Amino acid sequence: MEPMADQVCLVTGGGSGIGQATATALARAGATVVVAGRRREPLEEVVTGLTREGLTAAALPGDVTDPADADGLVADITERWGRLDVLVNSAGANVPRRDLASLSVADWTAVVESNLTGTFLVTHAALPGMRAQRFGTIVNVSSIAGYRAMELTGPAYNAAKAGVNAFTESINLADRRHGIRACAVCPGEVATPFLAFRPTPPSAAARATMLQPEDVAAAVLFVATLPPRVNVELLTMYPTQQRDWSAELR
């Protein structure tokens, strides 16, 4: 039997990178998967690829930083499938000018909203239904920068991901009695299109040593397929070969 059979999953940021890989992993494990993001075209490309494999997937464009869009995503899923079992908050972003001396107020706000506020808004929308069905798994894609501030990622991203980790703990404190569990998956460097926004984008050789999106997706699937009695609150994963970032920081 497929481990995710009969489960309905929402993956935000599902049009590329970790979100796309996670949506693929969940669908191949038997889930009905909805991918969400601001741009319709990449979402539909993901869905087309999955349906060609005979898998069940749908695209719902929306901006997770907009409360109305976040509520609408969950409402649309509930209306169509009657439930939402797994939420993967993978949407997030960073900015090129991210060091404290260069960081603008507008960029700070954008980074915090995309990584932290969006995670809160979609989770806030999903929780009532999960409470009613007394089951739900929430996986927040965070970062090692969330518990160890890093110069490379910058203060806004560090603070946002630290907030994601604390919010994950808060979900468990409040809602484990309702059968809901939450996990923050904290990867190190992952070779995604996100890297293009770094001040100095890594080379192809450097990206080959990093975690790949499918590695993080495998961790998300592991968490989601554990028995309901098991909750992994924080999962950390690093590339085996840690790179020297000093040249990029200069």
- So what's the pLDDT on residue 180? 98
Catalytic residue among 14, 33, 107, 157: 157
Gap between the terminal Cα atoms of the chain = 52
pLDDT band of residue 250 (cuts 50, 70, 90) is low
User: What share of the chain has pLDDT > 90, as a percent?
Assistant: 89
pLDDT at 47 > cutoff 70: yes
User: What share of the chain has pLDDT > 70, as a percent?
Assistant: 99
- So what's the pLDDT on residue 230? 98
Closest CA to 19 of 193, 145, 166: 193
Q: How far apart are CA 35 and CA 150, in angstroms?
A: 30
Q: Are 15 and 46 in contact (CB under 8 A)?
A: yes
pLDDT band of residue 248 (cuts 50, 70, 90) is confident
- So what's the pLDDT on residue 196? 80
pLDDT digits (tens, 9 = 90+) for 177-194: 999 999 999 999 999 987
pLDDT digits (tens, 9 = 90+) for 78-131: 999 999 999 999 999 999 999 999 999 999 999 999 999 999 999 999 999 999
pTM for the complete prediction?
0.95
CATH code of the domain occupying 8-249:
3.40.50.720
Q: Is 157 a catalytic residue?
A: yes
Q: Please give the structure tokens belonging to residue 127.
A: 């929780």
pLDDT digits (tens, 9 = 90+) for 59-83: 999 999 999 999 999 999 999 999 9
- So what's the pLDDT on residue 195? 86
Closest CA to 224 of 171, 189, 185, 186: 185
Q: Are 49 and 247 in contact (CB under 8 A)?
A: no
